[in-house]
Amino acid sequence: MPPYDTASKGGAFEDKAAQWIASHCLLDGISGLLLAVSGGADSVALAAVLHRLVAAGRLNVRLVVGHVNHTLRGDASNGDEAFVRAMAERLSLPCVCRRVDVRGSAQKQKLSIETAARSLRLDALAALANESNCQAVATGHQTDDQAETVVHRLMRGTALSGLCGIRPMTVLNGRRFVRPLLTVRRAEIEAYLRDCGWVWRDDATNRSYAFTRNRIRHRLLPALHKQSPDVAARLRRLAECGHWARLRVESTADLVKPVDRSEHTLSYSRSEFIRQSPWVQVELIGRAICALGGRLRDVTSRHYRELMAKAARADSAKITWPGRLAVSVEADRLTFSAPIERLSVFPSEPVAVSIGTVADFGPYTIRINYVDIKGKDFFDYLANKPPCTEWLDAERIEGPLVARQIRPGDRFWPLGLGHEKKVARFLQDSQILKPQRQSVFVLADTKKIIYLAPLRLDERAKVSKRTKKILKINIFYRDKDA
């Protein structure tokens, strides 16, 4: 791997990447960018190109190299990590790495290796970006990846959202993910690296026909390429058209507000619903499903078409969908209802919890007090913590406290985990049964969750040897009817 001294080579390739970044505003408002580098050709080119654009003054962003070791290939995986560290050192860029247990997670959650790896990788990259003060993560997806994705989704069956393929910019796990190389082909990338003297690592699993994506890459797309040499570029343009159409659908759906919204129901005006295009109707149905805690993958295209047809007719109807989500077509509205057991045991509005007082929140009684441990042995004090009690560092609490329900998209930093995580994912990974999840709530200050009660504290509020004043929290479960 040569030092960075080949500035005259690869100019056209770099121009192409720079124009794509600018035209899609990928780095607008970004001061720190984490480069997701696996060691493969695409990610090596990503790091090389962006580093060169920054060095030339064409981009104004701080770069950090990030690597996720999936620990799937033993010494080969460790070799990838060492390669990426060496590359970052040659580029004089900071490098952060994280190891994840893909096989263990796949077995625990009963997922495929591919699905588990993607989930853990996104979690790890978001956490590394957070720790490195980077507002975005850049990945090395390119045009051939886009073509494979679109074909894969067409084979499985997809609607407009899936037809968009890999988007130039998305928000995943609370972090912006950008794809600066989505406009270039794999062959262009490898030619660029050879011209500039860069080497890369090959992952043998990318050649295995055991994975559907590899069969698409090595068999189907080459066959299509013989008939149409520019098939990859055509599929990329199709995805771009889908993306712009999707944005139009979303912006139109934003204008259609529910006429009624309660803890377990959501209603649209029937007349306004049927005035929308089928694409917008599908978007509105999907939003209702998500708002009531349903899962989109449980509802098929047949369910969508049936509801849309019934809404267009003059009669009324009642439908029960998977997950026991109910839909009622009435004279003037469409009403989606969650099953009774999904109703929260907690009030819909947050409840203020003042220090030195007692508050009731659903089936719990919460008592919070200060404890001054000055002059006491910290470890002895920690070892004698009473039952139903948690301790927080009072100086790490910002503003007043509230108890509230878990909200979609909530994130916290589980004590001892080392990085942020979505609350929903934490509960799933912890194998908390759905009925038990209904008894979990959030205790938060004005900036963050400090306690996913009564399961896990947040790392950012934990006590330490430097703690001078403890915030003692007692949470007692009581019978709701008591």
Smallest Cα–Cα separation from 195: which of 38, 11, 53, 50?
11
47 vs 111, higher pLDDT:
47
**Between 311 and 300, where is the model more confident?**
311
400-411 pLDDT, tens digit each: 889 998 888 889
Using one digit for the tens of pLDDT, what is the confidence trace for 329-341?
A: 998 999 998 875 5
Residue 293: pLDDT over 80: no
Q: Is the pLDDT of residue 263 over 70?
A: no
The pLDDT-based confidence of 378 (bands split at 50, 70, 90) is low
When pLDDT is cut at 50, 70 and 90, the band that residue 374 belongs to is low
Residue 1: the pLDDT is 40
434 — pLDDT class (breaks 50, 70, 90) = low
Enter the pTM of the model: 0.62
Q: Of the segments 207-216, 315-324, 400-409, which one has the largest average pLDDT value?
A: 400-409
State the pLDDT at residue 436. 65
Q: Are strands 32-36 and 62-69 parallel, antiparallel or unpaired?
A: parallel
Percentage of residues of the chain with pLDDT beyond 90: 34
What pLDDT is attached to residue 377? 59
Shortest CA distance to 217 belongs to which of 201, 200, 199, 235? Answer: 235
Residue 32 has pLDDT above 90, yes or no: yes
Mean per-residue pLDDT, 315-319: 85
User: What is the model's pLDDT at position 373?
Assistant: 65
pLDDT at 2 > cutoff 50? no
Least confidently predicted of 116-125, 228-237, 357-366:
357-366
What is the average pLDDT value for the chain, to the nearest integer? 84
Residue 479 is predicted with a pLDDT of 46
Q: Which of 22-26, 212-216, 279-283, 455-459 has the lowest mean pLDDT?
A: 212-216
